[in-house]
Chains A and B, each alone.
Chain A
Amino acid sequence: MALRFVSNNEHLIDYGSLRTLVVDDIPGMRSALKMTLANFGITRTDVASTAQEAIFRLGNGPYDLILADYNLGEARDGQQLLEELRHRGLITLQTVYVMVTAEAMYERVAATAELAPDDYLLKPFNGEVLRNRLEVIFQRKLAFSEAHRRFAEGDLEGAVAACDSLMRNKPRYLVDALRFKGELLNAMGRFEEGEALYRLVIEMRAVPWARLGLARVLHALGRAQEAEAILLDALAAAPEMMAAYDLLAEVRIARKDLVGAQQSLQEGAAISGKTVRRQQQLGELAYENGDLETARTAFQAALDKGRHSIFVSPADYGNLCRVQVEQGNLNGALDTLKKNKDSLQLAPEGQLVTAVIQSMVHSRSGQADLARRALDEAGRLRGEGVHGDGRLMLDLADSCMTQGRNEESDAIIGEVAKNAHDSEALLSKAREIYARCGRAADGEELLKKATADVRKLNNEGVYLAQKGDFDGAVSRLLTAAKEAPYNPRILMNAAWVLLRDADQNGLKEGGLQEAKRLLDEVERLAPGHSRLPGLRSQVREIEARYGISRRPHP
Chain B
Amino acid sequence: MSLEAKDLYAALMHELKNNLGLLAMAMEQIPRQDSEAHDRPLDDARLLCQQVIERLRQSLLLYKAAERPLPIEIDAYSPHEFVQEMRDEAASLAHGRLQVSAAVDDGVPPIWFFDRNLVDIALTNAIHNSLAYARSRIEIRVGMAEERLCITVSDDSDGYPEHLLHAPGLDTPLGSGGTGLGLRLSQMIAQAHVNRGRTGELRLSNVPGAAFSILLP
Contacts and interface: CB of A to CB of B under 8 A. Distances in A.
A172 B20 CA distance: 35
A33 B26 CA distance: 10
A136 interface: yes
Contact of A107 (B73, B101, B110): B73
Given A5-B102, A32-B26, A174-B111, A102 B14 contact: yes
Interface stretch (A123-131, A246-254, A322-330): A123-131
A1 B102 CA distance: 14
A215 to B, nearest CB: 18
Contacts, number: 114
A207 interface: yes
B22 A2 contact: no
Given A28-B22, A35-B29, A123-B18, A133 B85 contact: yes
Contact of B104 (A5, A33, A104, A176): A5
B190 to A, nearest CB: 17
Interface stretch (B36-44, B74-82, B162-170, B180-188): B74-82
Report, as a range, how many residues of chain A touch the other chain: 35 or more
A123 B21 CA distance: 7
A221 interface: no
Given A2-B104, A125-B21, A172-B110, 11 more contacts: A2-B103, A5-B104, A123-B17, A124-B20, A126-B25, A127-B92, A132-B81, A133-B85, A172-B111, A174-B76, A205-B76
B7 interface: no
A469 to B, nearest CB: 51
A171 B81 contact: no
Contacts of A131: 88
B28 interface: yes
A39 to B, nearest CB: 7
A366 B92 CA distance: 77
A207 B76 contact: yes
A8 interface: yes
Given A29-B22, A124-B53, A129 B80 contact: no
Interface string A94-131: 00000000111101100100000000001111111101
Given A124-B20, A205-B113, A36 B85 contact: no
Interface of A: 1-5, 8, 28-29, 32-33, 35-36, 39, 102-105, 107-108, 111, 122-129, 131-133, 136, 171-172, 174-176, 204-205, 207-208, 238
A4 B84 CA distance: 11
A133 B195 CA distance: 27
A211 to B, nearest CB: 12
A35 B31 CA distance: 13
- The 7 residue pairs across chains A and B that have the minimum distance between CB atoms: A124-B21, A175-B76, A172-B110, A32-B25, A171-B110, A205-B113, A132-B85
B25 A35 contact: yes
Contacts of A5: 84, 87, 101-104
A205 B21 contact: no
The main secondary structure of chain A at its interface with chain B is helix
A129 B81 CA distance: 11
B24 A124 contact: yes
Contacts of B84: 5, 132
B141 A205 contact: no
B71 A108 contact: yes
A103 B15 CA distance: 11
Interface string B139-161: 00101000000000000000000
Contacts of B78: 136, 172
B10 to A, nearest CB: 9
Contact of B14 (A36, A103, A133, A171): A103
Interface in B86-102: 87-89, 91-92, 101-102
A108 B29 CA distance: 32
